Structure 1
Amino acid sequence: PWTDVRDATRIGHRAPQTQARLVHEWGVLYRLEASSEDCLRLNVWSRGLGDGGKRPVMVWLHGGGFSGGSSGGYVYDGTNLAEQHDVVFVGVNHRLNVFGFLYLPEIGGEQYAQASNVGMLDIVLALQWVRDNIERFGGDPSNVTILGQSGGGSKVSTLLGMPDARGLFHRAIAQSGSQVRSQTPEQATRTARNVLTALNLGPSQLDALQQVPFYVLRDTLSETAGVGGFSPVMDGRTLPAHNFDPVATEVSADVPLMIGSTETEVTWNTGQNYDELDAEALRHYVRSALRSDDATADRITALYRGSRPEAGNLDLFLQIATDASNFRRGTGLQAERKAALGRAPVFKYYFNYYSPVREGALRSMHCMDIPFALHNTDVAAPVIGAGPDVKALEAKMSAAWVAFARNGDPSHAGIPAWTPFTPSGRDTMVLNPDPQLVPDYKGEHLRAVNEVMDAAEARRG
């Protein structure tokens, strides 16, 4: 606590983490602020400090899975949304990776019964702070929207099933991120045992974890293969069930949801190969993406080529691989199961603006929608390009995101009427400089890929 005026003009610390492998155009948009265990920070932007305003509040949850990232990235800056759309924008930093998602109740017993999903509970604490304090920043605590992209979308999706978060937010936006299922306690306990082994500690030495310097813990685990992943756990307490499997959670049944993905999600990291593909290479990569045989790969490829005869082999593969990824399948399944509840509207989008950067190689990559939604296209020009089309899409998308935050409906005068996604109509807003609302967009393709992927997962067991 402090008793005098506090300097709050600088971005807060990020959580301890290692740096992700991003395409360099996107990497420059990271601020790379210092990390610290003192990372429970809120970054708040408002044009109405102490003016008694009742502005909609947009709480941004950053990407990076559950292991990296921060709300301090330049493209996450809330200045433009606050100034031009009159909202209060809040970015949240919270514990990540082993610090936020190490699950210990099964190993540590009663003493460690609360050591579960603490990174998500940090976000709940942040939302409680918003509830209690955001009026001083000109925000309305009864009109809070949580939103995030990639890992941030997964955090949004996780909060939808957390009883502790009920009532702390009123709308939700998940961009290219989902959380259909969470880890089981058994899976998370295996990871915890692997962490102890990597640190040369036994199950009876959990107290010693608190004596390990954070940088040693971070670096040891980043250099040790096979430890496992860190993500929310269905522990029966903070997260009582899988949020969208077999059905959508009832915890947030009355909360409207906006959800979608980009056309080529897979073109986002340094491992993506952009070599042109001949027919045999195309079959090979499609077969691998679908975990199928040659005949299935050929059948799916023919379906996609039939709708886009002008597309080259590489473009066909990138679209099939994206449709087979959890970016598309997870967000699609959440939209369907949330809509099936029929208790609150679901608004679905499909982003297919193509960047001209690097001779178009990045296409419509994962993360490409963020600067348009957050009104930050100028700083993102190294990734998305610049020009009239960029500005037109920025105006339309940011206004839609704010309209949804303001009143639960993303429709506004600059785009066609955006009707909800339903099990029968499946209306989807296709977002590019000329947005169009399309019933059952790519439905035949997505159902075909989902059938193949479901069969592959059934075989794997």
Structure 2
Amino acid sequence: MSNRRKFLVQLSVITAAITLPKFARSSVQADDEFVIAEAVEGKLRGIRKDGVCLFKGVPYAGRLSGDRRFKRPAKLEPWQGVRDALEFGPPAIQGDTFNPSSREDCLFLNIWTPANDGKKRPVMVYNHGGGFANGSGAAPGQDGTNLAKLFDVVVVETNHRLGLMAFLYLEDIAGPEYAGSGNNGLLDIVDGLKWVKKNIAAFGGDPGNVMIFGESGGGAKTSCLYAMPAAAPYFNKASIESGPGLRMLPKEAAMEMTKLVFQELNIDLKDWKKILDVPVKDLIDVQNKVPRLMANSDYIRKHGVVGFVPNNFAPVVDGVALPHDPFDPFAPEISKDKPLMTGWNEDEWAFFAMYSRDVGPLKSDFTFEALQAKFEPEFGADTKKIIETYRRTRPNASASDIWMAVKSINMMGLGTIAIAERKAEQHGAPVYLYNFGYKSEAKIPDTDYPFGTPHAMDITFKFNNEVPGAKPGFLSGSKPERFVASHHMAELWTTFARTGKPAAKDVPEWPAYNLNDRPTMRIDTTCEVINDRFKEELAMWRSIGRISYHPLNSR
């Protein structure tokens, strides 16, 4: 198995390390100021703190447990009186990082707003990372307070089903009641978007101006939502960040995974209802075995690796909820008129290397001969061409630098560029391509090599949580310059949410991506537009079939 596959199998666990909240104690203080908002289902009591109203653990759909397992949720029933929205709701059932506070009944969202005053502010709905198996809409790094307070927007984050609980494909064996079961996790997010459409005006938001965005697995979720008919009426623009979801699971692969689950549980397919009574912990144990079982299956031997997180539970291209792969071979026609941002971090692999403990290539004694040996299992006969190209375009780069650059663009960059190209070729709403490039000086553990711009570091930056007085992030380092880069990123994102065109003070105009100039905004303390960035490297990647472009006239 290649290093890329090894990491991706662990992707949800890795991202969850920084995306899961702590639920150990109440965050309500004796002197807190309470505020009331009235949703369609009833009144909610939240907290006003630091100039922002926060409503936590707001239910947006009904029960999932018991006979609702693997179905669409029960209807959300109205409540009498005032319901407290003071504590985060339980996260979804998690994968390898099984969380004792997790619950099947997890459909809650959190709202940060400057005021529930009837003003129509842009609404930013964030899809959390953690692959498709872990994470939460309540992680500290993605706290929406600063975006709401400093940029006058409303931020919403949902919990939704994950892993096997979210994507077990049952409709071929369980019938129409389980239609869409392979996409329940995405359809949960759609239910959250429906709730926003119906209720967000009561929280100072504009239901007619909603942006969806997400990082890593959240970027892949956003890629899918961008292609889903059920989601289309409920958002106006999107941003896919370090998580290009070009392709999802074919139905046949999803059905193979379903068969493996039932085999592990010793349940015959004709007795499928027995799975409704299986304890959650047993389901998670099986979920964690599936990638290995799939990797050794006849299906994978015949068809090759499938899925955003290889051979693992993910959205299913079922022809209905998700009619086709999100961005392969074309951008979705259903969102042709919706502006899009997409991009990746320059040193994505630094994060992956740390958590997979694959830091040998970052040591000072790592040679180009060792680089060749390191790449050959993954790139085979193309290894020499890849190294030669990067040594030519980066003559002062060390073997470690080239390892980082190649692994980073191959992991997240090539798919992101494909999305930008396929969106641009539609000649519809614009797409804006970025590279996040602020360099952290913090060292990758057990090395003297700095993180640079690793995967997931952008979360605290785009939420403007890198500010004076904030505790320095583990990834982002402690240089004060990070405050400037964070403000740039947050302002670009919130302006895009407001207008559909990213812009910020002291940042050059960001032109839409096109197939001639191919402009990319590099985001840092000083931002710059770079045309046709990585031109020679991308020509090489195309020549070996790692990135493909399908012009409209090839249909």
**TM-score normalised according to structure 2 size:** 0.76
Matching of residue 99 in structure 1 with residue 187 in structure 2? no
> What are the superposed Cα offsets for residues 82-137 of structure 1, whole Å, 9 maximum, x if unpaired?
11111100011100101100111223344533423111100110000000000011
Matching of residue 42 in structure 1 with residue 84 in structure 2? no
Amino acid at match of 1:329: L
Matching of residue 345 in structure 1 with residue 453 in structure 2? no
Aligned with residue 407 of structure 2, among 321, 340, 363: 321
Amino acid at match of 1:343: G
Deviation (angstroms), 1:20 = 5.6
Matching of residue 7 in structure 1 with residue 99 in structure 2? no
The 8 Å contact of residues 418 and 547 in structure 2, kept in 1 or not, is answered as no
Matched residues in 1 for 2:390 and 2:450: separation? Answer: 20
Aligned with residue 239 of structure 1, among 318, 322, 330: 322
Deviation (angstroms), 1:361 = 3.4
Name the SS for the 1:91 alignment partner. Answer: strand
Matching of residue 207 in structure 1 with residue 273 in structure 2? yes
Name the SS for the 1:163 alignment partner. Answer: coil
In the TM superposition, what are the counterparts of 1:430-441 in structure 2 within 5 Å? 430-441=522-533
Matched residues in 1 for 2:151 and 2:542: separation? Answer: 38
Deviation (angstroms), 1:223 = 4.9
Matched residues in 2 for 1:421 and 1:259: separation? Answer: 10
Aligned with residue 267 of structure 1, among 318, 335, 350: 350
The 8 Å contact of residues 259 and 335 in structure 1, kept in 2 or not, is answered as yes
Deviation (angstroms), 1:416 = 0.7
Matched residues in 2 for 1:128 and 1:333: separation? Answer: 30
The 8 Å contact of residues 248 and 317 in structure 2, kept in 1 or not, is answered as yes
Matched residues in 1 for 2:422 and 2:343: separation? Answer: 14
Aligned to 2:249: 183
Decide which moves more: 79-88 or 270-279: 270-279
Amino acid at match of 1:318: M
Aligned to 2:388: 302
In the TM superposition, what are the counterparts of 1:364-443 in structure 2 within 5 Å? 364-377=453-466, 378-379=470-471, 381-443=473-535
The 8 Å contact of residues 47 and 83 in structure 1, kept in 2 or not, is answered as yes
Which segments of 5 or more consecutive residues in structure 1 lack a partner in the other structure? 22-31, 457-461
Amino acid at match of 1:7: D
Coordinate RMSD, CA, aligned: 1.9
Which segments of 5 or more consecutive residues in structure 2 lack a partner in the other structure? 1-77, 295-310, 549-555
Aligned to 1:25: none
Name the SS for the 2:287 alignment partner. Answer: helix
Aligned to 1:279: 368
Aligned to 2:28: none
Matched residues in 2 for 1:427 and 1:35: separation? Answer: 43
1:214/1:422 CA distance change after superposition, 3 Å: same
Aligned to 1:108: 174
Matched residues in 2 for 1:5 and 1:112: separation? Answer: 34
In the TM superposition, what are the counterparts of 1:58-97 in structure 2 within 5 Å? 58-97=124-163
> What are the superposed Cα offsets for residues 418-438 of structure 1, whole Å, 9 maximum, x if unpaired?
010011111000112111101
Matched residues in 2 for 1:3 and 1:41: separation? Answer: 18
Structure with a larger share of its residues in strand: 2
Amino acid at match of 2:384: D
Name the SS for the 1:422 alignment partner. Answer: coil
Name the SS for the 2:274 alignment partner. Answer: helix
Name the SS for the 1:154 alignment partner. Answer: helix
Matching of residue 251 in structure 1 with residue 334 in structure 2? yes
Deviation (angstroms), 1:240 = 1.1
Amino acid at match of 1:259: T
Deviation (angstroms), 1:352 = 1.8
Amino acid at match of 2:342: I
The 8 Å contact of residues 228 and 322 in structure 2, kept in 1 or not, is answered as yes
> What are the superposed Cα offsets for residues 387-435 of structure 1, whole Å, 9 maximum, x if unpaired?
3310110111110000000001112222011010011111000112111
1:394/1:111 CA distance change after superposition, 3 Å: closer
> What are the superposed Cα offsets for residues 116-169 of structure 1, whole Å, 9 maximum, x if unpaired?
311110011000000000001100000000000011011111011100111200
- Provide runs of 4+ in structure 1 moved above 6 Å: none
Aligned to 2:26: none
Amino acid at match of 2:436: F
Name the SS for the 2:497 alignment partner. Answer: helix
Matched residues in 2 for 1:288 and 1:266: separation? Answer: 17
Name the SS for the 1:410 alignment partner. Answer: coil
Name the SS for the 1:384 alignment partner. Answer: coil
**TM-score normalised according to structure 1 size:** 0.91
Decide which moves more: 343-352 or 4-13: 4-13
Decide which moves more: 132-141 or 229-238: 229-238
Paired positions, count: 441
The 8 Å contact of residues 108 and 203 in structure 1, kept in 2 or not, is answered as no
